[in-house]
């Protein structure tokens, strides 16, 4: 039997920003238009049931990554329902994480993720100039400082060691041109 290492679970089809390189919104894939905005209760139940079956059959633990769009658009109530269902199906030694742009990180969301032993990885496209060239709001405004606020909130949470996965840093030629110091970027995202 082939064992599964990681399951990518798309929980939101919408996003709160408009990245220029997004395959969903800007590269011709308009299948999201016909999708529900968020994962349904029925789908949560079905996925949880399948994950429980996989857990029983597979010898080693697997990881689940909540993805989107922007998964935090689900809000705390839907996220709690989803995480409770997933944790009922799989124990804490199974990694559950979320990939987010970081803008919607709040104390309530961090407390919820702490409760369900779920980690968070934030996407950042390098320094401000490069990040804001690609990761913009729906009105074209840069999002760099909003992401940093989310990272700072995450780093200052009492369970930061559990919650905070490395920042997903997308480096490009433009990043290297605009980087004044790699060390300053490391300080920006380093765990406290």
pLDDT of residue 158: 94
pLDDT of residue 27: 73
For residue 23, give the nearest of 35, 36, 32, 34 by alpha carbon: 32
Chain segment 154-183, per-residue pLDDT in tens: 999 999 988 887 655 554 444 444 444 344
Instruction: Domain ranges for the chain, please list them.
Output: 6-189
Residue numbers in the chain where pLDDT is lower than 50: 171-184, 191-192
The whole-angstrom separation of Cα 19 and Cα 183 is 26
pLDDT of residue 167: 58
CATH class of 6-189: alpha beta
Whether the CB-CB separation of 20 and 26 falls below 8 Å is answered with yes
pLDDT of residue 187: 54
Distances 10 to 24, 43, 93 between C-alpha atoms, Å? 12, 11, 21
Max Cα–Cα distance, the chain, nearest Å: 50
pTM: 0.85
pLDDT of residue 192: 44
* Chain Cα centroid distance, residue 115: 17
Whether the CB-CB separation of 8 and 27 falls below 8 Å is answered with no
Distances 75 to 82, 104, 171 between C-alpha atoms, Å? 11, 9, 30
């Amino acid at each position: 039997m082939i064992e599964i290492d990681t399951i990518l679970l798309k929980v939101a089809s919408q996003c709160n920003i408009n990245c220029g390189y997004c395959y969903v919104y800007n590269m011709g894939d308009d299948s999201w238009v016909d999708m529900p905005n968020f994962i349904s209760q029925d789908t949560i139940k079905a996925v949880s049931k399948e994950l429980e079956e996989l857990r029983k059959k597979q010898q080693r633990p697997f990881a689940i990554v909540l993805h989107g769009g922007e998964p935090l658009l689900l809000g705390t109530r839907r996220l709690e329902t989803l995480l409770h269902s997933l944790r009922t199906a799989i124990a804490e030694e199974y990694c559950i994480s979320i990939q987010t742009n970081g803008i919607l990180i709040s104390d309530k969301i961090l407390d919820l993720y702490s409760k369900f032993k779920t980690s968070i990885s934030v996407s950042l496209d390098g320094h401000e100039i490069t990040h804001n060239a690609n990761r913009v709001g729906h009105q074209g405004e840069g999002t760099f400082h909003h992401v940093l606020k989310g990272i700072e909130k995450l780093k200052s949470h009492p369970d930061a060691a559990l919650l905070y996965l490395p920042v997903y840093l997308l480096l490009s030629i433009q990043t290297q041109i605009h980087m004044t110091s790699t060390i300053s970027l490391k300080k920006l995202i380093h765990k406290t």
